[in-house]
Every structure is written in C-alpha cells, then in structure tokens.
Amino acid sequence: MENFVFEYPTKVYFGKGAVKSYLSSELKKYGETVMLAYGGGSVKRNGVYSEVLSVLGECGKKVVEFSGIMPNPTYAKVQEGAALAREYNVGLILAVGGGSVIDCCKIVALQANFSGDVWEEEIEKHSFPAAAPIPLGAIVTVSGTGSEMNGGGVITNEDKKIKTGLFAAAPRFSILDPEYTMSVPFPQVMSGTFDTLSHAMETYFGYPNEDNVSDDIGEAVMRSVIRNMRVLLKDRNNYTARSNLMWDSAMAENGVLKIGKKTDFEVHMMEHQLGAYTDCNHGMGLAVLHPVYYRHIVREGLPKFVRFAKNVWEIPAEGKTDVQLALAGIDALAAFIKECGLPSHLTELKMKDSPEKLLTDRALEEIAYSTTILPGSYKRMTGSEIYEIFKECM
C-alpha cells in the first residue's frame, strides 16, 4: 500500500517515515508541554523513542514522561497519568505504542480534566464525564486493537476485577508506520492481528441480518486480514502485508463496519473478564474463545454463518446442508487459528492466575449482564452457558 494522508474523526498519517514527515506539523498545533507516554521500554530498544524525542526537541517542546503502561492497563495507572498531566499542565498527550498505551492515554486525557471519577461516572452512573479531554496523538508501533481511530479505551479495574471499555475522545491524529511493527515479537503481531479479525467478526455476526453494505465491507476486511496473515507466516517482514494489516486494524474498529449494525461483541466481553482475572493476552484469549462461542450460536445466526463459510473461507456449498456449511466455516476459522500459531485452549497460555477462578457466579453474571447492553447478539447468553463456554475453552 502507498503512503497516504486521510482525515476521519482522527487524522491518519500512514506509511514509511511518517513520523519524520508529519509529527512536527501536528506538534505545532498544541501547547508547549507534551506528555510522552509509552509501555515497558520496547520503544527505546527499537529506536522509535529516540526518533520521537528528537522531533519533540526540534519543536522546542518540554517533555514529561509517563512510562510503564502495562498490557491490560489498570485504572490505577490511569490515575497516575492523570495526576502527572495535571501537575505539568500538559497540552498534548503523545501515546507511543500499541492499543494498551493508546487506550490508557485516552482515559488519562479525560480523567486529567474531570473533577470526578471517570469509572464511577461511566460505569456506575451510566453518564458521560462533563469535561473536554486533553488532546491526544498516537504513534502506533503495534496494531490490531483499532484504538488509533476511535474513542474507546479498555481498562482493568483491579479492585473490582472488571476489565471493560471506557469512552473518551479519539486521538486527534494517529501516525501509522508499518515498518515500526517489524520490531514487535512475532507472536504478538499475530495475536494483535487476530484482534482485528475478531473486531470484524464481532460486528458481522450481529443483527440486523438484512442486506447491508457494511457486511460486504466486513467480509472484504476479513479476507484481507486472513490473506495477509498468511503472507506473514512465510515472509514476516513483507511490507505490503504489514501495511494492509495495519490499515485493516484501523478499518475494523473505526466505525465503518458498524454502520447500520448493532454488533455482537460477546467474545470481547468474555475475554475482558478473562483478562481481568488472569491477565491473559487479549488476542490469544479471543483466538481460544471465538470458535467455541460460535458453535454455541451457530443455529441462531445460521444465514450469516453460511455466508461467512462461502464468502470469507470460500467453502463450496454443494452437497452440504446449511448447518454443515456453517460449521465448516467455523472449523476453517479454528484451523486458521492453529495455522497462525495461536492457541486453541486456555491451558496453552501463560497466565498470572488460573482461568478456573473466573468460573464464579459473580464473574459470569458480569459477562451475562454485558449482553443486555449489546442488543445485536444472535443469542442472549446466560451465566450457565458462559460457564459451559469457558469449560470448553480450558
């Protein structure tokens, strides 16, 4: 894919060398103090940190560092960042990393300017904090979450044992250089990319079922992800595949696929609780859950699963009943997960805590409750069916 500049809710600068070409023009729009936010230090090893710091220096910015943002970022980390942003009267937060860093910074940006507590306001009072967030820019080093073009941030509240989406503002701009993704460990590239496929599927497998061009576009994104993940299996640093996958990540979760749709997102809700209890890798948790969950809802969503088998996996319909064809599509997804080196069982994953801990009434009710706010699902999940799904995932 060629380099491009494209305006959306977020202005996207995409392509090789985009930080050098565009960051300084964006920095000029904001105040003199920039909060440079990143994760565990990989941005220092791969050179991105020094590249960004050098542009910040050339633009005469004062830099406040906010580092150590973890995968599955915690609400405590959000509060730490918000306090720092307030203390230094930050004019721009620059999130350098993947979805965890960007998600965390979105909520930091809102919490810093909100006198109340964001979690309490959004999750408990079901209200939106009356505050204008600090402007946010993102420099993406690993893609998949789609955080680069939307306003959601997934945060883990360790005290409450809940991992869920909070909402703030989308980044004002995001810089996406596919070359940056080449320094990311390969299993993380594949698990991040599976998150993209998951987003497209979560939206596709949901009501309404009437003819909708968004479903056609969803199939296009899914086929692109599958084809380009297969390219990476043979040629890890193929730039064309890396760039397609980076743009697929943004397209899968920037709202285009959701137009006219209600969406499912049940697998994300289950994985979020898994993450809250075990600190499980997000994409790997999704990879385990998707085929198992889909076998539970295949009859309720039969026409869409038939279409998925034919249009995404190109499985011939001849000689198969609709149920056989639908199940063959789910089997193709499960086989692809294995082909990509992603897990099929939770026991294959290294986790901080046993997933068995999740199988409590409270955790299951939390997930079952989430269904009530997701009106697009083909089948309303009960706590006991979620229990069965997790048992089958072990």
What residue ranges bind a copy of itself (CB under 8 A)?
A: 1-2, 4, 6-9, 14, 208, 210-214, 216-217, 219-221, 223-224, 227-228, 231, 240-241, 243-244, 247-248, 251, 255-256, 259-262
Query: Residue 217 CB, nearest distance to a copy of itself (Å)?
Result: 5
State how far Cα 39 lies from the chain centre: 16
Q: Which of 263, 78, 106, 120 is nearest to 174 (CA)?
A: 106
Q: Which of 112, 110, 188 is nearest to 145 (CA)?
A: 188
Q: CB nearer to a copy of itself: give 2 or 60.
A: 2
Q: CB nearer to a copy of itself: give 6 or 369.
A: 6
Which of the 8 DSSP states describes residue 136? E
Query: Residue 301 CB, nearest distance to a copy of itself (Å)?
Result: 17
Tokens, residue 41: 């230090």
Amino acid at 375: P
Q: CB nearer to a copy of itself: give 122 or 219.
A: 219
Query: Residue 227 CB, nearest distance to a copy of itself (Å)?
Result: 7
| Phi, then psi, of 137 in degrees rounded to 5 | -125, 150
Alpha helices in the chain (DSSP H): 18-27, 42-45, 48-58, 75-87, 99-112, 118-119, 186-204, 213-234, 239-253, 266-278, 282-297, 302-307, 322-339, 361-372, 383-393
Query: Residue 257 CB, nearest distance to a copy of itself (Å)?
Result: 10
Query: Residue 203 CB, nearest distance to a copy of itself (Å)?
Result: 13
Q: CB nearer to a copy of itself: give 86 or 261.
A: 261
Q: CB nearer to a copy of itself: give 251 or 332.
A: 251
Instruction: Find where tokens 């930050």 sit.
Output: 90
Cα dihedral sign, 343-344-348-354: positive
Query: Residue 108 CB, nearest distance to a copy of itself (Å)?
Result: 23
Q: CB nearer to a copy of itself: give 376 or 383.
A: 376
